[in-house]
Amino acid sequence: MTSPPPGLAAPKAAAAGLSALFCGLGIGRFAYTPLLPALVTAGWFGPGEAAAFGAANLVGYLAGAAVAMPLGRLVSLPVLMRAMMLAVAASMAVSAAQPDAAVFGLARFAAGAAGGVLMVLGPPALLAAVEGRVRGRVGGAIFAGVGCGIVASSVALPLLLGLGVRPAWLGLAAGAVACAAVAWPFWPPHAPPAPTQAAPPPGLARLIAAYAVNAFAIVPHMLLLSDYVARWLGQGVAMGSGAFAVYGLGATLGPLVGGYFADRVGFGRTLTVAITLQAAAIALPAMLRTVPAAFVSALLVGSLTPGIPPLVLGRAGELAGMQAAARSWRAATIAYAVAQALGAFAAAAAFARLRAHPPLFVAGSVFALASLAILPRTRRPPAA
């Protein structure tokens, strides 16, 4: 079965995908991080409950990723994508009502599930609908939505929290509705059809394995970079927060830069260079224990955290075509999320024992190099 002919203009696909990931991950998932301490301070929930709601969101994300393909066969793509973005908005509005713990946890679960469906079905459907020569740039714009959401949340939430916790949740709900409105008219009518072959090519299986291993690599920076700057380097909380802001800035720019190069030299070569650079950037704070090195590392690792997923999706399309890539993207998304969750628990346990950041940065770099070694070396086929 051949791919359907591209039929969506690149700017429309980019706008739809960026808005979807801004909504599903930037708002539905990552905006909870700066809200958590405010919930505790305002007396909505205790620290343990507030942390558990973050876990509920992750479980929801895994559930959404798991059921995305069956849902996609039952509901048309535009209807499903619009419904998931509005579900994120509804979950924020429910949270603003200060419900009891059970309802609040269900709202966090629903936001995570919607984000999982948006991640699994949205990017491959949009990339399959545009011309192959612009897939790198479109994919970069789509995944930049995650970084844009992190940056927007980091800027807007402190202002909204000045008005109170409830206005902050309502502001997030309004942002999700705005994202849905932007993407509303631009969804292609169908997701890519399932490939007829029974099993993915060996190269595709290796790519998914490499992607999962790479999830372990970024955990130390996601969890500990701000603390490393604030306490290990003795720069204080404000400077530690600045490092995370730089991380978010990188997350916005990285997918765009990676997509630009992927359209010129191919996804395989760009992915290899990206992971090599990632391994060096993760190890940098352990090698040079200075503030400038930490900020450079934050920018580079931040750029490659959402910068590598579109390269993996594009590389899957090179190896097996966009139909097989779309089907395998669910497995890749689930594997990545599970590995990241396991990595977070392992890193927390190791840090509690070692009480030092540099060894974990070195371990992250080793995982990045391991993922590089697993990458398939299959030559890129001619564009379909």
* pLDDT at 236 (0 to 100): 82
Q: How confident is the model at residue 340 (pLDDT cuts 50, 70, 90)?
A: confident
Q: Per-residue pLDDT for 199 more than 80?
A: no
Q: Per-residue pLDDT for 109 more than 90?
A: yes
Q: Per-residue pLDDT for 42 more than 80?
A: yes
* pLDDT at 193 (0 to 100): 62
Q: Domain spanning 10-186: which CATH class is it, in words?
A: mainly alpha
What's the whole-number mean pLDDT along residues 163-189? 93
138-152, 194-208, 212-226, 228-242: segment of lowest average pLDDT: 194-208
Compute CA distances 329 → 31, 289, 357, whole Å. Answer: 24, 38, 33
98-102, 165-169, 221-225, 270-274: segment of lowest average pLDDT: 221-225
Q: How confident is the model at residue 2 (pLDDT cuts 50, 70, 90)?
A: very low
Q: How confident is the model at residue 200 (pLDDT cuts 50, 70, 90)?
A: low
Establish whether domains 10-186 and 202-374 are of one fold: yes
Q: Per-residue pLDDT for 382 more than 50?
A: no
* pLDDT at 49 (0 to 100): 79
* pLDDT at 41 (0 to 100): 81
Rounded mean pLDDT of the chain?
87
Better-scored residue on pLDDT, 53 or 272: 272
What's the whole-number mean pLDDT along residues 285-296? 94
Better-scored residue on pLDDT, 42 or 172: 172
* pLDDT at 5 (0 to 100): 47
* pLDDT at 378 (0 to 100): 62
Q: What is 202-374's CATH number? A: 1.20.1250.20
293-302, 308-317, 333-342: segment of lowest average pLDDT: 333-342
* pLDDT at 169 (0 to 100): 94
What's the whole-number mean pLDDT along residues 346-366? 89
Separation of alpha carbons 354 and 351, rounded Å = 5
Q: How confident is the model at residue 323 (pLDDT cuts 50, 70, 90)?
A: confident
* pLDDT at 192 (0 to 100): 64
Separation of alpha carbons 35 and 169, rounded Å = 9
What's the whole-number mean pLDDT along residues 242-264? 88
* pLDDT at 117 (0 to 100): 95
Q: How confident is the model at residue 355 (pLDDT cuts 50, 70, 90)?
A: confident
Q: How confident is the model at residue 53 (pLDDT cuts 50, 70, 90)?
A: confident
pLDDT digits (tens, 9 = 90+) for 63-85: 998 899 899 889 999 999 999 99
Q: Per-residue pLDDT for 224 more than 60?
A: yes
What's the whole-number mean pLDDT along residues 151-172? 86
* pLDDT at 232 (0 to 100): 87
Q: Per-residue pLDDT for 369 more than 50?
A: yes
* pLDDT at 91 (0 to 100): 96
| Ranges of each domain in the chain | 10-186, 202-374
pTM assigned to the model: 0.81
